[in-house]
Chains A and B, each alone.
Chain A
Amino acid sequence: MNSVLLINGLIGGVVFGAIYALIGSSLNVLVGVLRIINFAHGEFILAGGFLTYVLLTYFGINPLVALPFAAVLFFAVGYVLYYLLIPRLAHSDEPETASFLLMFGVSLMIVSVLTWIFEADVRPINFSFDPINVLLYTVENGYGEGRDAKVLVPTARLVALAINALIIVALTWFFYRTLPGKAMRAAIMNREAVQIVGIDIHRLSATAFGLAASLAAVTGVLLTLVVPSIDPNGGADLTLIGFIVIALGGLGHPVGALAAGIIFGLVEQVSNVMLPQAAAQMLGFMILVAVIFFKPSGLFGLERGR
């Protein structure tokens, strides 16, 4: 086992883990506040990525400029989408399963539109910072006599990680220090009680949906910095990662999702360098199944009935 490989795996783990934490946080808002099993979450992320791709490729706009634009645009889209789709779900016998299927339909529609516009091939994102890589560490004689091994990290990944960390701090502040954030946390605990204390549940829910869509789109923008290509069919994998993260961290647990995202990122990236690819992917799902079976409240969750 090469130590440089391991260090690269660990750094990749933190970078990807932060992205996964963000995916988990936004999915958690939907699952926790709205009880919506958003099967289209990965496609929301992809939509943010494709927005970045279009702005960069056709208008030469820097992804860092696209980021706030995507955040505002997708907040509005999510806010409207809530009123179009969700209130009717309450008529269903089993709203959770119904939301799962509804959002599956939405995801099919988004993927179909994306493949229609961009065709089914992977698009490159031609963007890099100067310098392209940052040298973090040199292992002397890492590859044997007189041949040093270098730990190089793309600058874009470090920038993505820094922005990601800022967003996570802002999100934590929002959830614990502002009134709408506290209302959302209250709604996660008890949706009925929140209405009794005079909160307009529909406005709160629409805001939560907007926030989740906005965060998902921002994740998509950051993802183009981490992986400089975008695939219209990659959404389902992202959705599944989101569910793994919230199952690990505990449904509706805002901090749990962050830790779970990092843990999952580390496991995935390190096993990626040590195991065949299909085995590394299998590992993630095995962790998910094991956690749901043996610790159904998540690694950080409180015991709750289900």
Chain B
Amino acid sequence: MQRSSSPEIEIDTRRADTVRRTLWYGLVVVILIWCAVIPVFDGNLSLYFAMMMWVTLATGLNFIAGFTGYMPFGYVAFYGIGAYATGIAVKVLGMSVYLAIPFAGVVGVLFGLLIAPTLRLSGIYFAIVSLSLAIICQRAIALMPEEVTGGSLGLNLGVVTVREHGYYAMLLILVAALLTASWLARSRLGKALKAIRDDAEAAEALGVNVTRSRLYAWLLATLFPALAGGTQAWFTGALDPQTAFDVLVTAKTVIYAMAGGLGTVLGPLVGTVVLVWVDELIWRAFPVLNNFLLGAIIAALILFAPRGLIGSLTRRYPRLRRYIM
């Protein structure tokens, strides 16, 4: 392909890239400071913890669903495995929780590697197998000896550290996820992934290693939910197979990411922040029909804005692409 050689366009592209990066890093710094001062001013710790966790999950999902088009409907498996790896490390192995979280991340990625052959499947078969594997994990953990996983009752970690430590750990993981997203979008790997998503055969013909690129995206996508699940177990001090492998966790992650726009860096962040607030408001106003409205929002999004908020905006106003990563 002939590259457009006009020097003005070249300079303009670079300038736009600088603008986008400055705005994005500025936003990440604002989020970092905002969330960091919440405990100091006695803010709603649980709400902000949940918000940070969902943004991390949605951003992590974006690595595989947005950049490659695979829809892992058993995404919760990594979250649950991370939670259990942390729980077992702290409770059974007596590990420090500060080591247990990275350990959970490693376990999550290893599990991702183990089931990487599922990437051979396409479309809906991948989604169904992924969902089944998550259910198998849940039942397997419930079947394990009670000394290890606590069986179907789960593990009670109790107060591991003061809550703020768990909160700040989540904040660090969130920032890492956001920076990984912007790095990926600009990296060679990210460009290769987008090329594969749009036309795998063409990308292969141009020398992109399709299998390896997808595997890298997959492993990145498995790391963050495992870290988030572990930190959630730490923060709440308890875990059980029902909630650690709840299909709703996958569903909410997918919905938040889609609401913002899969495939964009900003999308999952915006979608999650908007919908978690909406969810919270609905929950306060109509506790009974909470899930009904959530379901209605999902259906409306799919029918009327399948590309999400950011995706639809940049489609309607292409000039915004200069500012949005």
Contacts and interface: CB of A to CB of B under 8 A. Distances in A.
A101 B295 contact: no
B206 interface: no
Interface string A93-114: 1101110111011111101110
Interface stretch (B35-43, B89-97, B250-258): B250-258
Interface residues of B, number: 43
B135 interface: yes
Contact of B295 (A105, A236, A247, A288): A105
B136 to A, nearest CB: 5
A236 B251 CA distance: 13
Interface string B106-120: 000000000001000
A289 B136 contact: yes
Given A109-B295, A111-B291, A306-B125, A101 B302 contact: yes
Interface string B281-308: 0000000111110111111001110110
A187 B154 CA distance: 48
Interface in B98-149: 117, 121-125, 127-129, 131-133, 135-136, 139-140, 142-143
Contacts of B210: none
B132 A101 contact: no
Contacts of A292: 121, 125, 128-129
B245 interface: no
A105 to B, nearest CB: 3
Nearest to A306: B122
B306 A100 contact: no
Q: Most A CB atoms within 10 A — which of B129, B132, B143, B298?
A: B132
Contact of B292 (A88, A108, A306): A108
B132 A281 contact: no
Contacts of A293: 117, 121, 129
Nearest to A281: B139
- For A108, A236, A306, the residue with the greatest tally of chain B CB atoms inside 10 Å of its CB is A108
Chain A interface size range: 35 or more
B298 A105 contact: yes
Contacts of B304: 88
A176 to B, nearest CB: 27
Interface in A214-262: 236, 240, 243, 247
Contact of B258 (A96, A101, A286): A101
A278 interface: yes
B120 to A, nearest CB: 8
Contacts of A240: 131-132, 135
Contacts of B63: none
B247 interface: yes
Contacts of B125: 247, 292, 296, 306
Interface of B is mostly: helix
B123 A105 contact: no
A173 interface: no
Given A106-B295, A112-B290, A112-B292, A85 B303 contact: yes
A72 B53 CA distance: 46
A92 B306 contact: yes
A166 interface: no
B294 A108 contact: yes
B295 A100 contact: no
A101 B139 contact: no
Contacts of A34: none
A116 B143 contact: no
Nearest to B117: A293
Contacts of A236: 247
Contacts of A167: none
Given A109-B299, A116-B289, A97 B127 contact: yes
Given A278-B152, A296-B125, 18 more contacts: A85-B303, A88-B303, A92-B306, A93-B306, A96-B123, A102-B302, A102-B303, A105-B298, A108-B251, A108-B294, A116-B288, A243-B128, A281-B139, A282-B139, A286-B136, A288-B132, A292-B125, A306-B125
Interface of B: 69, 71, 73, 117, 121-125, 127-129, 131-133, 135-136, 139-140, 142-143, 152, 247, 251, 254-255, 258, 288-292, 294-299, 302-304, 306-307
The 8 closest A-B pairs by CB, nearest first: A108-B295, A105-B298, A112-B292, A105-B299, A109-B295, A112-B291, A285-B132, A105-B295
Interface of A: 37, 85, 88-89, 91-94, 96-98, 100-102, 104-109, 111-113, 116, 236, 240, 243, 247, 276, 278-279, 281-282, 285-286, 288-289, 292-293, 296, 306
15 contacts: A37-B124, A37-B127, A89-B303, A93-B306, A97-B124, A98-B306, A102-B299, A104-B295, A109-B291, A109-B292, A111-B291, A112-B292, A240-B132, A288-B129, A289-B133
